[in-house]
């Protein structure tokens, strides 16, 4: 850690009657972001309590284990637990920093569901002491940090809670600091990426910065909570729109009969063109979800963002239909679907278009579906009982007449034209071209 923080100095207050315990961080939510952040903070000298509603997760972490697959995470957690700088609990402790890293799923009608963030705020409220700082990291619709402030203010009338644009001296600090790490590179990017720190007031941003500057080697950039909330949604919408362009191109190319991979490769030789790669759709808990939060905030204005979401969702249905056409072309044959994860070399199947496609096909063609997915030992529950089966790459290739690349896992990249000779091949990722 850089230096022990002085909450009084940062908040510009006189001495606090009951200062929150120094150096203690409570990370609420031990998922893909919370657990790596908790373990990393512990490795930087903070005393960290990771809080989760799942007793199973708490027990696993306290035993030095991890419940998610992420590069370097197991060692980090093991070391922090052994050093007793990290402990997990179902109870929220009193701490100097509270970091909320809980899920914010899509509710009905593609509207954001922030009930887990609200529940975290309610759990923190009774424990919080003057001088403490609450940071929201969960991807959230604009205005969520203010909602957290309102919840704490209601539960704790004894505290002066900061308000957007407020000038009064507050008892606690509140900030929004979006995570922006790439699954598969989380631990590295937590340290090296630039961070946007959005304070409800400037003093709040300064206070939150005490935590981030202790471990972030990138730049820490200060702004308001509302801007920071918007920045996060914009980043992922930018990527979604650009992937939608690539996916739409792939469908245009199919229609007019040109090779999309050639088109993109050659167009990208223009100095100001950088087209992303088409695939079977967009997955993961971020890019396929967050743009809807932006749309929900400005439904009339967010036309391109909404259309991009629709194009990327449609790409999965389009891919499914193309595979169905192959199944009709080889009516006795089996199809080997290569990959289920939402992107290469990851065991994460959340919002995965590959899984969605496999599930739809399995419902109608059960026994003809062979799934090849090196990142799982069991057939996902979505496919259980459909007649579809999990196969190794060798077995899948031996048995299938049709081969579809849904995910370009490294384990598939050695495939050569000879391995696929005589088969109907559909490569949604352009993997076999590389």
Which sequence positions are flagged as catalytic? 232, 286
Decide: 203 and 173 in contact? Cβ < 8 Å: yes
Of residues 7 and 241, the one with the C-beta less far from ligand SAJ: 241
Q: Which of 36, 131, 162, 183 binds ligand SAJ (CB under 6 A)?
A: 183
CB of 184 to ligand SAJ, least distance (A): 7
Q: Which of 10, 132, 211, 287 binds ligand SAJ (CB under 6 A)?
A: 287
- How many residues contact ligand SAJ, by CB under 6 A? 20
What is the C-alpha separation between 147 and 133, in angstroms, rounded? 15
Tell me if 195 contacts ligand SAJ by CB under 6 A: no
Tell me if 179 contacts ligand SAJ by CB under 6 A: yes
Tell me if 221 contacts ligand SAJ by CB under 6 A: no
Please list every residue from 327 through 386 that binds ligand SAJ, using CB under 6 A.
Answer: 342-343
Q: Which of 162, 199, 279, 430 binds ligand SAJ (CB under 6 A)?
A: 279
Tell me if 144 contacts ligand SAJ by CB under 6 A: no
CB of 428 to ligand SAJ, least distance (A): 9
Of residues 70 and 171, the one with the C-beta less far from ligand SAJ: 70
Return the structure tokens found at 214. Answer: 């202790």
Spell out the alpha helix ranges (H) of 289-432: 290-297, 303-329, 353-365, 393-399
Residue 299 CB: number of other CB atoms within 10 A?
Answer: 10
What is the C-alpha separation between 286 and 63, in angstroms, rounded? 29
With CA atoms as reference, report the closest residue to 286 among 68, 98, 26, 33: 33
Cα 362–chain centre separation: 27
Q: Which of 78, 94, 277, 399 binds ligand SAJ (CB under 6 A)?
A: 277
- In the shown chain, the binding pattern of residues 236 to 265 toward ligand SAJ, with x for contact by CB under 6 A and - for none, equals x--x---x----------------------
Tell me if 276 contacts ligand SAJ by CB under 6 A: yes
Spell out the alpha helix ranges (H) of 366-427: 393-399
Q: Which of 58, 286, 358, 424 binds ligand SAJ (CB under 6 A)?
A: 286
427, β-bridge pairs: 405
DSSP labels, 107-156: -GGG-B--HHHHHHHHHHGGG--TT-EEEE-S---TTHHHHHHHHHHHH-
Return the structure tokens found at 183. Answer: 């699954």
Instruction: Give the range of 51-59, 61-69, 173-181, 420-428 binding ligand SAJ by CB under 6 A.
Output: 173-181
DSSP-based three-state secondary structure for 81: helix
Instruction: Give the range of 82-90, 91-99, 162-170, 177-185 binding ligand SAJ by CB under 6 A.
Output: 177-185
Decide: 248 and 318 in contact? Cβ < 8 Å: no
- What residue ranges bind ligand SAJ (CB under 6 A)? 139, 179-183, 235-236, 239, 243, 276-277, 279, 282-284, 286-287, 342-343
């Amino acid at each position: 850690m850089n230096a022990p923080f002085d909450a009084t100095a940062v908040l510009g207050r006189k001495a606090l009657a009951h200062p929150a315990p120094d150096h203690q961080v409570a990370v609420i939510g031990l998922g893909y972001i919370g657990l790596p952040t908790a373990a990393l903070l512990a490795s930087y000298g903070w005393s960290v309590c990771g809080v989760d509603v799942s007793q199973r997760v708490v027990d696993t972490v306290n035993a030095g284990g991890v419940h998610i697959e992420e590069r370097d995470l197991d060692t980090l957690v093991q070391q922090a637990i052994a050093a007793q700088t990290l402990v997990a609990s179902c109870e929220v402790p009193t701490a100097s920093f509270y970091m909320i890293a809980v899920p914010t799923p899509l509710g009905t009608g593609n509207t954001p569901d922030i009930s887990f963030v609200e529940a975290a705020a309610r759990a923190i409220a009774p424990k919080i002491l003057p001088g403490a700082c609450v940071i929201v990291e969960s991807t959230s619709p604009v205005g969520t940090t203010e909602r957290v402030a309102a919840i704490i203010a209601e539960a704790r009338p004894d505290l002066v809670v900061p308000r957007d644009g407020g000038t009064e001296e507050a008892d606690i600090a509140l900030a929004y600091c979006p995570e922006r790490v790439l699954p598969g590179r989380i631990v590295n990017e937590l340290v090296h990426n630039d961070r946007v720190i959005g304070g409800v007031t400037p003093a709040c941003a300064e206070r939150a910065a005490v935590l981030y500057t202790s471990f972030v080697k990138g730049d820490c950039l200060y702004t308001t909570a509302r801007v920071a909330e918007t920045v996060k949604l914009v980043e992922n919408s930018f990527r979604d729109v650009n992937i939608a362009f690539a996916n739409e191109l792939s469908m245009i190319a199919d229609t007019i009969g040109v090779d999309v991979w050639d088109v993109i490769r050659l167009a990208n030789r223009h100095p100001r063109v950088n087209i992303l790669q088409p695939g079977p759709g967009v997955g993961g808990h971020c890019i396929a979800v967050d743009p809807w939060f932006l749309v929900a905030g400005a439904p009339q204005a967010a036309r391109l963002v909404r259309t991009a979401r629709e194009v990327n969702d449609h790409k999965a249905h389009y891919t499914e239909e193309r595979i169905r056409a192959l199944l009709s072309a080889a009516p006795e044959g089996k199809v080997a679907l290569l990959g289920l994860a939402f992107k290469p070399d990851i065991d994460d199947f959340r919002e995965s278009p590959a899984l969605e496609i496999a599930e739809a096909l399995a419902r109608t063609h059960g026994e003809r579906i062979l799934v090849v997915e090196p990142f799982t030992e069991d057939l996902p529950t979505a496919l259980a009982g459909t007649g579809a089966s999990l196969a190794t790459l060798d077995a899948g290739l031996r048995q299938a007449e049709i081969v579809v690349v849904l995910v370009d896992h490294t384990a598939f990249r050695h495939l050569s034209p000879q391995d696929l000779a005589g088969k109907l091949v559909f490569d949604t990722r352009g993997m076999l071209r590389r």
